[in-house]
Amino acid sequence: MATVRDRKGGRGEQDGTGDLYSVLLPTYNERENLPIILWLLVKYFGESGYKYEIIIIDDGSPDGTLEVAKQLQKIYGADKILLRPREKKLGLGTAYIHGMQHASGNFIIIMDADLSHHPKFIPEFINKQKEGDFDVVSGTRYIGNGGVYGWDLKRKVIRLYKKSVLQKLVENCVSKGYVFQMEMIVRARQFNYTIGEVPISFVDRVYGESKLGGNEVVSFLKGLLTLFATT
Ligand SMILES: Nc1nc2c(ncn2[C@@H]2O[C@H](COP(=O)(O)OP(=O)(O)OP(=O)(O)O)[C@@H](O)[C@H]2O)c(=O)[nH]1
Ligand SMILES: *[C@@H]1O[C@H](CO)[C@@H](O)[C@H](O)[C@H]1NC(C)=O
C-alpha cells in the first residue's frame, strides 16, 4: 500500500475547498431499490458534510425506474439528483462513460443501485483518498476476524476515482459488463496509479447476508413518512 504523501496545495477537509463527489448510479429495473439507495446516500453524505451529486443513468427500464427517479429528484432537489437517461439498455460500461460526461465533480464514485453496496462506506473512501492523495480507492473485503479476502473477482465493490484518472482508464478499457470494472483496476495498476484500500466487512450488503439494521429500516420508514407529509 502506498505511503501517505505530503498534501500538495492544502486540499480542504470536509466542505473545504471545492471537492465535489459525483456518484454514478446506473439503473436497470431498480424501481424498488432506488428510493432506499438514494435515501442512504443523502443521509451519509449529509452527515459527512462532503459535497456531492448523484447521477442516475437509467437505460429505459421497463419497470418505470425513471418515473421513480423523477419523483425522488423532486424530493431531494435537481442540484443533488441528476437524471441522464438513455433510450435502451446499452450496458454498464457505456453507462459509466455517459454518466461521467455529465459529472461536475473532480471525484467520481461508482456503485450499484441494487443494494449490493452500502453507502455508509463512502465517507471512509473519501477520507482514505485524502489521506494519501490516492488516484483510486477501492474496497478490500475481509472475512470476519480481519482475514483478508483480497480483490473481489466475483462481486463488485464501490470505487472512488479522481475524474481525470477514470477518464484515462475508460479510454483504455475494452471489456463489457462487470468485467469492465475488474479491467479498470488491472489497468490502474499497469498505469501505476496509486490505489488506496478501505477494509470492508465481507458481509456489507444492505440486504442479503447482513440485513439493514432494524434501526435503519425504522428511520428509513420514518423518513419516508416525513417526506410524504412535507412534499
Ligand atoms: N444504465 C444501465 N444500468 C445497468 C445495466 N445493466 C445493469 N445495470 C445496473 O448496474 C448495476 C449492476 O447490475 P448487475 O445486474 O449486477 O450488472 P451486470 O454485472 O452487468 O449484470 P447483468 O446486467 O445481469 O448482466 C445495477 O445498479 C443495475 O441496475 C445497463 O445496461 N444499463
Ligand atoms: C510502472 O512502474 C514499473 C516499475 O517501476 C515500470 O517498470 C513501468 O514502466 C511503469 N509503468 C508506467 C506506465 O509508467
DSSP letter string, 105-155 = -SEEEE--SSSSS-GGGHHHHHHHHHHHT-SEEEEEEEETTTEEEES-SSS
Whether the Cβ atoms of residue 72 and residue 113 lie closer than 8 Å to each other: no
Out of 115-119, 204-208, 213-217, the most confident range is 115-119
How far CA 139 is from CA of 34, 134, 188, 197, in Å, comes to 22, 13, 14, 6
DSSP 207: S
pLDDT number for residue 8: 37
34 backbone dihedrals φ, ψ, rounded to 5°? -60, -45
| Ligand 1 neighbourhood includes 65 CB (under 6 angstroms) | no
Measured between alpha carbons, how far apart are the two ends of the chain, in Å?
47
pLDDT number for residue 219: 64
> How do residues 40-70 score in pLDDT, each as one tens digit?
999 999 999 999 999 999 999 999 999 999 9
* pLDDT value at 153 more than 80: no
Whether the Cβ atoms of residue 113 and residue 162 lie closer than 8 Å to each other: no
Angle between helices 65-76 and 34-48 (to 10 degrees): 30
Instruction: Name the residue of 25, 28, 178 whose CB sits within 8 Å of the most ligand 1 atoms, as the mutation to test its pocket.
Output: 28
pLDDT number for residue 231: 46
What integer is the mean pLDDT of 154-159? 69
Strands 147-150 and 136-143 come out as antiparallel
What CATH architecture is 11-230? Alpha-Beta Complex (3.90)
- Residue with the smallest CA separation from ligand 2 atom 13 is 191
pLDDT number for residue 46: 96
CA of 189 to the centre of ligand 2 (A): 9
DSSP H or E segment with residue 37: helix 34-48
- Residue with the smallest CA separation from ligand 2 atom 3 is 192
| Ligand 1 neighbourhood includes 91 CB (under 6 angstroms) | yes
Number of residues in the chain = 231
> How do residues 81-115 score in pLDDT, each as one tens digit?
999 999 999 988 889 899 999 999 999 999 988 87
* Cα 196 from Cα 173, distance rounded (Å): 21
Average pLDDT, the chain: 81
Answer with the residue of higher pLDDT: 208 or 19: 19
* Cα 46 from Cα 214, distance rounded (Å): 21
> How do residues 116-147 score in pLDDT, each as one tens digit?
778 989 999 999 999 999 999 998 766 555 44
pLDDT number for residue 214: 62
What integer is the mean pLDDT of 185-204? 83
